[in-house]
């Protein structure tokens, strides 16, 4: 192998290496906030203090609205007090009785989709047993 064949191999890889470095650099400079975070559904299941569980889901809607759904799955048909917070501010609260066939209840609220991260916190407390369910998502 002569010196020119080695040079050609290095030169043919150089544009690909440079493109890869530029892509990596742009991801570092832009950071995670530049990703398409505002277009996907976020959901997660959380366990409560006793036998219940809660699922929190955030779905983006048109014109800057987030649809937030919290579902508490319970083993009883007790009354629950609930609160929903958006970026630390109270967004909604109420009292509901778990009465579906699976003894669950659902809270659905629309929230403004603010620029940057949206922190959503849900808390429900069983008024008979004092069991507490908490769920938090950042969207």
pLDDT of residue 128: 92
Residues 77 and 96 both lie in one domain: yes
Same domain flag for 65 and 122: yes
Q: Which domain holds residue 103?
A: 37-138
Residues 10 and 59 in one domain: no
pLDDT digits (tens, 9 = 90+) for 22-68: 444 444 333 333 233 456 777 888 888 888 999 999 999 888 999 99
pLDDT digits (tens, 9 = 90+) for 72-111: 998 888 899 999 999 999 999 999 988 767 888 999 999 9
Residue that the structure tokens 């609260």 belong to: 93
78 and 66 in a common domain:
yes
Q: Does residue 117 sit in the same domain as residue 128?
A: yes
> Looking at the structure, do residues 23 and 74 belong to the same domain, yes or no?
no
Q: Are 28 and 93 part of one and the same domain?
A: no
Domain of residue 51, CATH code: 2.60.40.1930
Instruction: For 77-87, write each residue's pLDDT tens digit.
Output: 889 999 999 99
Q: For residue 62, what pLDDT is reported?
A: 83
Residue 68 region by backbone torsions, left for phi larger than 0, else alpha for psi between -120 and 50, else beta: beta
C-alpha 92/C-alpha 108 separation (Å) is: 10
pTM reported for the whole predicted model: 0.69
Q: Render pLDDT for 113-122 as a digit per residue (tens, 0 to 9).
A: 989 999 999 9
> Both 21 and 80 in a single domain?
no
Q: Detail the DSSP E strand segments found in the chain.
A: 42-47, 53-61, 65-73, 79-86, 89-97, 104-112, 119-126, 132-138
* Alpha-carbon span 84 to 97, nearest angstrom: 17
The DSSP H or E segment spanning 48 is none
Residue 126 has pLDDT above 60, yes or no: yes
């Amino acid at each position: 192998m002569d010196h020119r064949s080695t040079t050609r191999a290095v030169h043919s890889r150089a544009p690909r290496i440079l493109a890869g470095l530029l892509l990596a650099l742009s991801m570092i400079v832009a950071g995670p906030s530049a990703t398409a975070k505002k277009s996907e559904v976020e959901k997660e299941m959380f366990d409560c203090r006793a036998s219940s569980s809660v699922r929190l889901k955030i779905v983006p809607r048109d014109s800057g609205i987030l649809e937030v759904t919290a579902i508490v799955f319970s083993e009883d048909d007790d009354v629950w007090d609930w609160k929903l917070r958006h970026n630390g501010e109270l967004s909604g609260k109420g009292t509901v009785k778990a009465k579906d066939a699976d003894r669950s209840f659902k809270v659905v609220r629309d929230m403004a989709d603010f620029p940057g991260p949206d922190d959503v916190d849900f808390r429900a407390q069983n008024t008979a047993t004092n069991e507490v369910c908490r769920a938090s998502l950042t969207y």
